[in-house]
Structure 1
Amino acid sequence: MSNVRYTDGIRIDLATGETVACDSEDVTGDVNALSHAHGDHLYRATPGSLVCSELTAALANHRRGEDAVPLERTDHPAIRQVDAGHVAGSRATYVDESEVPRTSADRTQSGDGETVFCYTGDCSTRDRDYLTGFDPEPADVLIIETTYGKPEYVFPEQQELERRIVDWLDEEYDSPVLLFGYSLGRAQKLQRLVARSERDRLFVTKAVAGVNGVIGEHLGIDFGAERYRRETELGAGDALVLPSRTSKLAFVDDIVEETGAIKAGFSGWATNDSFRYRGGYDETFVLSDHCDFSELCDVVRAVDPEQVYTNHGFDEAFADHLATNMGYEARPLKRNQSSLSDF
């Protein structure tokens, strides 16, 4: 009998007795899949081979550093990955039990084994610049991320949002701007938006530049950014893109004090005013690499599964919404649950 568990990553126990582990830290499944190269999804142990995109493998190797044993990507007949629309290289994983190699005895003992699972990983259905949004396909079981799984998290239309950001960049031309976003993901989107503005010069930190290099090599993109260094003098018309985690560090405070730079934060959490104060930002925009609440609902409708498992963020709230308002069998995945009674 098939089963879905949340222990070391999301684990799909197939009717054959094999386990597919998605985004496992220790890579301990019989088959292992990786959705993307963000740190909270990456392996901790030496991975050997993983089912993932070529770009995710390259980004993972870059982020784990030269001293780590390189990840080697592989394929598996039961696994198909499609664009997840989250960040460059991200993939949603479809596992089809009917394609798992097995003997006739296996089929007799476990039944037909025709269940199709969809694990979204982090996802976004929006097309954004060089990213193709997640286009969900039907499956029997859906394991969906629910980062923004509450009704208050509905984001502006993408083109409108991007236009507002570019207009703001032009309106604040007389000051340098510091733009904060994840090194892999929003940092690249911000650079592309700066390129559409009237800003004169674009700089990025070492961490962002490294990710730019990997993405640029695989997708043929030139982000047009210079590397920011200590001796760099920022002036009016300049933009500097930095990792989100640096927004309240001392060197950022020094830049603001020396140049009068304006700090802007970009995230789905900018829906709440508290995001501005937590990051010490002067301006915020609701720019996200995830589905908003409405888009999560649309994903579920498109997949139309018999069973939904929610994971991360507002998992309980979204599962309750699916069950109460949309008529789906839905449960939040709890870490290390051993039976349905543990939900």
Structure 2
Amino acid sequence: MTKNGILCETEGKRVSLDPKKTDSMGVNFVSHAHSDHLPSKNGGTILASIETSEIANLRGFKMENHVQNIVDFSLIDSGHILGAKSLLFDDIFYTGDICTRDRGFLKGGIIPKCKTLITECTFGLPEFVFPKLDVIQKQVNELISELYGKGIPVILLGYQLGKAQTITQLFGHWGPLYFHDSVKQMNALHQKLGISLNDGIGHTEAEKNGLLKNKPWVMIAPLMSEKNQFLKDMKSKYGAVTIGFSGWAQSPRFAFGRRSDYSIIMSDHCDFNELVDLVIRSEAEQVYTIHGFVEEFAAHLRTLGISAQPLRENSLDDFT
């Protein structure tokens, strides 16, 4: 583990996993297009899915020397967002961000057998156990129905890339349906890449034409603070109520997961039990934990008789 991220040197290969800066000397694997996983500049070969490349381009990073396939490297669906991949090479499996639950058009990530597992553990504490999707759908549909019955418009909040598209697929049957312009743009790219999502009008056009005065309606927007001027305007002008979607809403210790009028537990990551199951299914001889509760999750795995340790900067120079 280096300041630039995870560097694997094994069997003559030099592989950087989600590096902050790409390595001109080796293979650079980019697991998906969330900004915290995109490199800051090009250099060397970038291995990523075509969807990740397209979404990264929309977000302002054009991948040069991009390839989808390299001999002896297997890109495996991680189920996190569209195009998100895990990587298997030389009996090392790197999860990237992963979710093994099916969610709308996103199918759960696939877990291969491996000797060495490098796994994220964003929600690597026992308190994080997420509800099933049908429970979430029932809860939210009932809430929207109640608010609609009072003539109250509803804004559904989720990350612009990933959760907003899942929310669109799960709750896009409500109408009139509007989108924050940034979500509409991201949805359009998903549609171009073959994902079926209901269409709607962007918020700028809707406001310009006075459509939001006709209540109730549903709008899908990026997750943001209630102090954001956009939400302040939507609330003051139209009396909108917000429903936010986040895995962090599970815990009372993380207030940023409950910044909306109503908070719904929904995540694009594995919960604690799914992470444990992932590790067991991999049959890995050695597990390294990254991103999240690395110490706690590794310690829990050791109680199960699994060799596990956190992967921190300078904790390991290389491994096989």
Query: Is this a same-fold pair by TM over 0.5?
Result: yes
Change in CA separation of 1:91 and 1:323 when aligned onto 2, cut-off 3 Å: same
Deviations, residues 74-122 of structure 1 (Å, cap 9, x unaligned): 42112101110000110111012xxxxxxxxxxxxxxxxxxx0000000
Distance in 1 separating the partners of 2:33 and 2:187:
14
**1:238-277 alignment, distance < 5 Å:** 238-245=217-224, 247-273=226-252
Change in CA separation of 1:61 and 1:246 when aligned onto 2, cut-off 3 Å: farther
Aligned counterpart for 2:265 among listed residues 274, 286, 293: 286
Matched AA of 2:57: N
Matched AA of 1:13: E
* Deviation for aligned residue 1:145: 0.4
* Deviation for aligned residue 1:135: 2.0
Query: Between Structure 1 and Structure 2, how many residues are aligned?
Result: 311
Aligned counterpart for 2:170 among listed residues 177, 181, 193: 193
Distance in 2 separating the partners of 1:148 and 1:118:
19
8 A contact 1:181–1:266 mirrored in 2: yes
Superposition RMSD on alpha carbons, in Å?
2.0
Instruction: Please give the secondary structure, in 1, of the residue aligned with 2:277.
Output: helix
Structure 2: unaligned runs, 5 residues or longer: none
Of stretches 270-279 and 290-299 in structure 1, the one that deviates more from structure 2 is 270-279
* Deviation for aligned residue 1:45: 0.6
Structure 1: unaligned runs, 5 residues or longer: 97-115
Aligned counterpart for 1:14 among listed residues 10, 14, 17: 10
* Deviation for aligned residue 1:137: 1.1
* Deviation for aligned residue 1:280: 3.6
Aligned counterpart for 1:179 among listed residues 118, 132, 156: 156
- TM-score, normalised to structure 1, is 0.85
Match of 1:110 in 2: none
Matched AA of 1:218: L
**1:319-330 alignment, distance < 5 Å:** 319-324=298-303, 326-330=304-308
* Deviation for aligned residue 1:281: 1.3
> What's the % identity of the aligned pairs?
33
* Deviation for aligned residue 1:131: 0.8
Deviations, residues 285-330 of structure 1 (Å, cap 9, x unaligned): 0011000000000100110101000001111100000012x11110
- Per chain length, whose mean CA-contact separation is higher, i.e. which structure has more relative contact order (CA < 8 Å, sep 6+)? 2
- Asked whether 1:209 is paired with 2:184, we answer yes
* Deviation for aligned residue 1:255: 1.2
Matched AA of 1:25: K
Of stretches 311-320 and 169-178 in structure 1, the one that deviates more from structure 2 is 169-178
* Deviation for aligned residue 1:178: 1.3
Matched AA of 1:78: D
**1:1-343 alignment, distance < 5 Å:** 5-16=1-12, 18-28=13-23, 30-47=26-43, 49-64=45-60, 68=62, 72-96=66-90, 116-173=91-148, 174-196=151-173, 199-229=174-204, 230-231=207-208, 232-234=210-212, 235-245=214-224, 247-273=226-252, 280-324=259-303, 326-338=304-316
Change in CA separation of 1:205 and 1:38 when aligned onto 2, cut-off 3 Å: same
Distance in 2 separating the partners of 1:169 and 1:48:
49
8 A contact 2:302–2:308 mirrored in 1: yes
Distance in 2 separating the partners of 1:279 and 1:254:
20
Deviations, residues 130-187 of structure 1 (Å, cap 9, x unaligned): 1111120100000000000000000112222222222222221121111111111111
Change in CA separation of 1:45 and 1:195 when aligned onto 2, cut-off 3 Å: same
Matched AA of 1:155: F
Deviations, residues 188-216 of structure 1 (Å, cap 9, x unaligned): 111112224xx321111222122112111
8 A contact 2:249–2:258 mirrored in 1: no
Change in CA separation of 1:188 and 1:47 when aligned onto 2, cut-off 3 Å: farther
